[in-house]
Amino acid sequence: MTTSTDVFNGKVLIVDDQSANVQLLVQMLRGAGYAFVTSTTNSADVCSLHLKNRYDLILLDLQMPRMDGFQVMEGLKEIETDGYLPVLVITAQPSHKLRALRAGAKDFISKPFDLAEVLIRVYNMIEVRMLHLETKRLYDQVVAAQRKSELLLLNVLPQSIAERLKGRADVTEDGFTEVIADSFAEVTVLFADVVEFTNFSEGVSVEVLLGVLNDIFSRFDKIADARGLEKIKTIGDSYMVAAGLPIPVADHAVRAAHMALDMIAAMNSFNEQSPHKLNVRIGIDTGAAVGGVVGKHKFLYDLWGDVVNTASRMESHGVPGRIQVTEATRNRLGKPFVLEKRGAIDIKGKGEMHTWFLNSVSA
């Protein structure tokens, strides 16, 4: 809230080509308690002085040689970043008052001066200026907070889902009244798991454990962004992403395959740079799924369907350092991918399945 102290600490510039008028106004304002009062008799200096000092009020005589007050106001408009022109014009011509207000001045005082009127108008003008600046600060804070909230939301949800949630009208204290759910005819899901991470975690501090996991998953996050996959979630040392949602794409299996190969390379790079040598096991499947946001609080975009379970089984029944894919995914990967038939294996909850190892991309 603006106080009298704020007003009297406002910076004032007096512009008049008559030295007697300048001296009178300076003495009057300083005598009234204004701490920062400066002056100039050269109207051409006003814009440069304002750029340097950012005055809260400029008392501007309209009739001056070389550059009149109207020209000064045009120059001030070009340098005022917030669009507010803190000008109180001084004029002896009644016809100039309306023109000055149209030019952007906020008020006027007449010559010869009525000292009581001058003090009241100066106080009111600076108070309005302070309120304007305070309102702008609050607005900027709200905008910054909103931007931060949007960034946090985008770090939790896919952009298209976040936009849909922001546009929902059915928001209550208990959350949303309806779920967001979309069916996808075909997506590709990838699960990765850091091998023997439980044993590794027993021999290091919590700080080291979290640092290692954050390093590895941050590398995976960059790959997901680069390859166009949607990170779904992490569960302990498991990492889940999907291609082909929430915006469907035709090359979802290809994107997932490239990401898997990049993840193997990222783990090799990690091992070269870290004293801790770890490995990753990856599984991939392709099929129909439902993606959406459920629940009332702490929203999470999740994925459901047999494809999720099968991709998880491909990972858990896989081989450290290798990428195991189902026949459904293999059928959507042609050249240049190099795949190796693993054969039929018994998958918990699925029975016998024919699977393949994704080895590389041929030159």
Active site residues: 313, 348
CA distances in angstroms from 187 to 201, 256, 291, 328, listed in the order given: 33, 10, 10, 11
Q: Which two tokens stand for residue 362?
A: 């041929």
Q: Burial of 262 by CB count in 10 Å (0-12 exposed, 13-18 middle, 19+ buried)?
A: middle
For tokens 């300048």, what's the residue?
22
CA 263-269-270 angle, to 5 degrees, is: 90
Of 140, 66, 131, 48, which is closest to residue 58 (Cα–Cα)?
48
Distance CA 176, CA 180 (A): 9
Q: Burial of 209 by CB count in 10 Å (0-12 exposed, 13-18 middle, 19+ buried)?
A: middle
For tokens 């075909």, what's the residue?
186
CA 360-361-363 angle, to 5 degrees, is: 130
